[in-house]
Structure 1
Amino acid sequence: MESTIRTPATSSVTVGVDGSGPARTAALWAAGEAVRRGRPLHVVHGADTDGRALYVSAETIEKVRAAGRELLDDTARAVTAEYPDLHVTTEFSRTDAVTTLHRAGGLHGTIVVGHRGLGGFHSLMLGSVGLKTAAGARTPVIVVRGVDEAEERGTVLAAVRDEDDLAGALYAAQEAELRKASLQLLHVWNMIQSAGNVVSMLDDVDEMAVQHVQALNAVTGSIRDEFPDLAVRADAEKSTSVAGVLVEASRHADLLVMGGRRAPTTLGLGRNLGRATHSVLHHAHCPVLLIPRAGTDLGSRT
């Protein structure tokens, strides 16, 4: 089944919570996102009681259920205190967190996760639930990072590899409009990877640079045609580390939008996250929105 992306104005927002600090931060951030989009917030907790049933007692299962429902109630109260007019629903699931999020997000919603769960050691690294959710989702996934580092910067950053990223850039432009922010399109190309070897790189670097700039300009032109009132900036950089450039640029953005795959395909087809995407998810200084790279339907703007 093909995945479908709706516009930020018509998509639902689903956030997963597990009792960790980053998950609570993600829930509050997701609530603000839901308000911005004019959509309800759906808070879910996947307790995996079905998976544990064969190994633990019925009493323990009941305690897990009670704790999960209390967590959902506490999160809903915290969100409502901050956003009293937001419609909030909660869901306790007997399945694991990743399966729960994928099902709750469906094909038309947006899934939000914290950058770290209850497991693991260091807050700098993305947890396994976040990685599995991002790798397997058929819908946009936002990993909430860096929201405590600074005030809003007023910029949405979009990573653009080529014309196949136009759908993602359009989505980023919609996000910028919602935030009353500017849009920065950033194209980063690795000279060595592009050339294949040092000899050809020396011979072809100028031609390759032209090709990369042309790809960025094509996307930029389409964005400016579609969003004539949006402030759009386009930058092209060459580097030996695509992820490094994107992570550094994320210091100055409120949201980084990028495709989630090595090749032009959709999320949820069983392929691994690319190396650059993986690194950005671990180290970005702002929330990261992963979307299908190509073959998507963003719907109509409202």
Structure 2
Amino acid sequence: MEATTGRSGLGRVVVGVDGSSSARTAVTWAAQEATLRGTGLCLVHATDSDALFLSRAETDRSRRAARALLDQTAEAVTVRHPGLTVVKELSDGPPSGSLRSAAALSGTIVVGHRGLGGFSSLLLGSVGLETVAAATTPVVVVRGAVEPAVSGAVLAAVRDDNDLGCARAAAREALLRKVPLGLLHVRGVGPAAGARVVFHHGAELNDRDHLLPVSELADRVREEFPELTLHADGEKSRSVPGALVDASHHADLLVVGGRRSPGYLGPALGRTTLSLLQHAHCPVELIPRHGAGHGST
């Protein structure tokens, strides 16, 4: 199934529904996002009954309960967003694969930060972890309050020109919300260093050679999105994940490029990406990074 594209140029929004409070928060965020984009919202519930040894009666009961959950969720969304087209999909397959299939080639997947299982509200659930590790389209992990306070900014964590796709996605999200975009580059340093540097509009830089690629990235985004208000900042920190988690306090959405850890077979996430998905204070959108330069982050 191909994902539709709305006035924003972004694909439709696909969200997982499992009855947990985290999933309900994700649905609330996804419905708002789909309304902003002008695309439909797809609610997906996966029973994973293909992998279970259930009797026919048990399977039927499971499917009835799943349909009821989808119907209730769709009704709640329609009450709040009466003009939004809502599609329901019930899958017998595993949750992660079902979400990726519904997103097709251009949709955005939205998941809560934990499901019905798990042992800590801080940790990303197994379905969310599998989804972000394997997805080839953007994935948003919804963190923060059910009705988050609007801070009026989208933040993109960038490192070099390989993050142009991430910066573009963040620019589109900022334009949807009519808020500024911040590009933040955090350089990991030893305990002896910790100075903060800010760069924009040709300001004097510390470590100019190191930050020049990010400054050039900001210029490319400004050229492509001239109507966008953009600020580019650089920071040194002993902990790159910690600095980005702190920055997420002041963002409506944190957009990051998806890098894979080297040396592993199959999908894996870098340390910084995993830390943000587990501890950020706002929703995190992971943009798959293709091609060369998949360093660990």
Q: TM over 0.5, yes or no?
A: yes
The Cα offsets for residues 133-188 of structure 1, whole Å up to 9 and x where unpaired, read as 00001110000111437411110000011111012101111110110011010001
Query: Matched residues in 1 for 2:247 and 2:210: separation?
Result: 19
Residues 1:44 and 1:50: Cα distance change in structure 2 (over 3 Å): same
Give the unaligned 5+ runs of structure 1.
Answer: 199-206, 297-302
- 1:37 is matched with 37
The Cα offsets for residues 262-302 of structure 1, whole Å up to 9 and x where unpaired, read as 479xxxx9331100000000000111000122459xxxxxx
Cα displacement (A) at 1:6: 9.8
1:45-64 maps to which residues of 2 (within 5 A)? 45-52=45-52, 55-64=53-62
Residues 1:287 and 1:8: Cα distance change in structure 2 (over 3 Å): farther
Q: Is the 8 A contact 1:9 1:39 kept in 2?
A: no
The Cα offsets for residues 121-144 of structure 1, whole Å up to 9 and x where unpaired, read as 221211010010000011100001
SS of 2:174's partner is: helix
Q: Is the 8 A contact 2:182 2:231 kept in 1?
A: yes
Cα displacement (A) at 1:211: 2.5
Q: Is the 8 A contact 2:258 2:269 kept in 1?
A: yes
1:216-295 maps to which residues of 2 (within 5 A)? 216-262=214-260, 270-295=266-291
Query: TM-score, length-normalised on structure 2?
Result: 0.87
Query: TM-score, length-normalised on structure 1?
Result: 0.85
Q: Is the 8 A contact 1:257 1:290 kept in 2?
A: yes
1:76-91 maps to which residues of 2 (within 5 A)? 76-91=74-89
Residues 1:145 and 1:17: Cα distance change in structure 2 (over 3 Å): same
Cα displacement (A) at 1:77: 0.5
- 2:187 is matched with 189
Cα displacement (A) at 1:214: 0.4
- 1:140 is matched with 138
Residues 1:7 and 1:263: Cα distance change in structure 2 (over 3 Å): farther
RMSD: 2.4
Query: Matched residues in 1 for 2:94 and 2:154: separation?
Result: 32
- 2:195 is matched with none
Query: Matched residues in 1 for 2:268 and 2:129: separation?
Result: 10
Cα displacement (A) at 1:56: 2.5
Query: Matched residues in 2 for 1:157 and 1:232: separation?
Result: 10
Q: Is the 8 A contact 2:108 2:137 kept in 1?
A: yes
Q: Is the 8 A contact 2:28 2:146 kept in 1?
A: no
- 2:167 is matched with 169
Query: Matched residues in 2 for 1:63 and 1:150: separation?
Result: 36
Give the unaligned 5+ runs of structure 2.
Answer: 193-204, 293-297
Q: Is the 8 A contact 1:14 1:111 kept in 2?
A: yes
Q: Which amino acid aligns with 1:238?
A: K
Q: Which amino acid aligns with 1:285?
A: H
Query: Matched residues in 2 for 1:129 and 1:71: separation?
Result: 18
Number of equivalenced pairs: 274
SS of 1:123's partner is: coil
Cα displacement (A) at 1:61: 1.3
- 2:23 is matched with 23
Query: Matched residues in 1 for 2:291 and 2:15: separation?
Result: 25
The Cα offsets for residues 241-276 of structure 1, whole Å up to 9 and x where unpaired, read as 111011110000000000111479xxxx93311000
SS of 2:207's partner is: helix
The Cα offsets for residues 102-130 of structure 1, whole Å up to 9 and x where unpaired, read as 11111111101011100012212110100
Query: Matched residues in 2 for 1:126 and 1:7: separation?
Result: 32
Cα displacement (A) at 1:9: 3.0
Residues 1:7 and 1:128: Cα distance change in structure 2 (over 3 Å): farther
Q: Percent identity?
A: 53
- 2:115 is matched with 117
Indicate the structure with greater helix content.
Answer: 1
Cα displacement (A) at 1:15: 0.5
Per mean C-alpha deviation after superposition, the further-off stretch among 74-83 and 147-156 is 147-156
- 1:67 is matched with 65
Residues 1:78 and 1:6: Cα distance change in structure 2 (over 3 Å): closer
